[in-house]
Structure 1
Amino acid sequence: MLVAAAVCPCPPLLVPEIASGAAGELDGARAACYDAVAVLAAARPDRLLVVGPAAPAESGEFAAGSRGSLRGFGVALDVTLGAGEPGARPLPPSLTVGAWLLERTRWDAAPVAARALPEDAKAADCLEAGRRLGAEEGRLALLVLGDGSACRTAKAPGAFDDRAEPFDRAVADALARADTAALADLDPVLARQLHVAGRPAWQLLAGAAEGADLDGRLLHDEAPYGVAYLVATWT
């Protein structure tokens, strides 16, 4: 049973050591993420599953103790997902940022595991995976990672697209209302065209939260660098 979810962006720039002189520009997003993780802890879950997007070859399950590295982004920083024996595979970037968030907030509320969803995962598969999670026994919390569109300005990674802001606004509204149907209806083709990384994880959340009667709260909604960063909680 899903009892709480936190939705956070996962750009490596969220890590101050990577952002360096620009770290202050993401202070608001960073603080909102910390607050969202605190909401998860307050829900007293039996377990936490961290969910984020990945290249198909990097997708799959990751146990506690799995490690990730931010060295590819220019800083000598490694992170570990919870407590456990080191896994055979490194965490993909989205889950590495998630593990960093948990380390930064000193997560100790419940055992942790992670799942990386293929960036091109079908909506139906994401929803069904979420429904299976929601049907399991015990109190489940989700840390759901993923950015919105990367096409909000001409200098954005995906260049400007006038469809990006309406798409992000619809997602923000759905997160604020804990609207599972709206997230389930997100168009994977449009999301891919707008370089939306969060779509698979948001749709897994939608499946897991069906019938859970959770309330949503939007904590942060900005698009620095032309990329939408949304933070929300469902409890």
Structure 2
Amino acid sequence: MDQKATHPLGGLTPSRTETAADAPNGRRTTVLLREFLETQTADRISLGALRDALGDRGFGVLLLIFALPNLVPLNIPLLSAVLGFPLVLLGAQLAYGQRRPWFPNWIKHRSFPRASFEAVVSRTLPALERAERLFTPRLTQLLSWTGERAVGTLVLFLALVLTLPIPFANWLPAFAIAIFGLAIVEKDGLAVLVGTAVAAASVIVAGAVVLGFIKAALLLFSSFIG
């Protein structure tokens, strides 16, 4: 009988049959993230080491990883702007049609605390495990080489929106990027359509927030000169 064991990062460790049979690339993303953390014993994790460990899942998982902190209430100033730049770089490469993520040395050797990364991953793993049950290979033509370039263009645009200091308008673009990341990993074209709908909603919300601030500034200006 197949057994499941409790894992220190939270939730259950999926059985061998679950991780191999249900995932198009052999292992679920949540399993890969757990395994990566288990192999990292240093206090800090370099971006290059993370990229190398992800292999052919690089684009999808990196999009997910850089989007996740924007979905968790961490209250870190300028977090969206800091994480937005790697997302811009990844989106541009995906739109160009590059097969594996590339980072310049000054980014590749940048590191972040292992404890912070583990905190974000452990807080989001339960939700990711539930989401993974919904993702399955379908409508795969939307994730052909041309399709992934279109997704990359959307990610690039959303990442640029994410870097802007727009209050209350960062969650939806990050959510859309996270969906696109999982869609690429799980080869789920339906998720691409869902991510596109969320992306459209995020643009509408960001536009409404910006328009509201412009109107408020004009009203304040008119009150001063009036």
TM-score (norm 1): 0.31
Relative to its length, the structure with more helix (as a share) is 2
User: With CA pairs under 8 Å and 6+ residues apart, which has the higher RCO, 1 or 2?
Assistant: 1
**Structure showing greater Rg:** 2
Relative to its length, the structure with more strand (as a share) is 1
TM-score (norm 2): 0.32
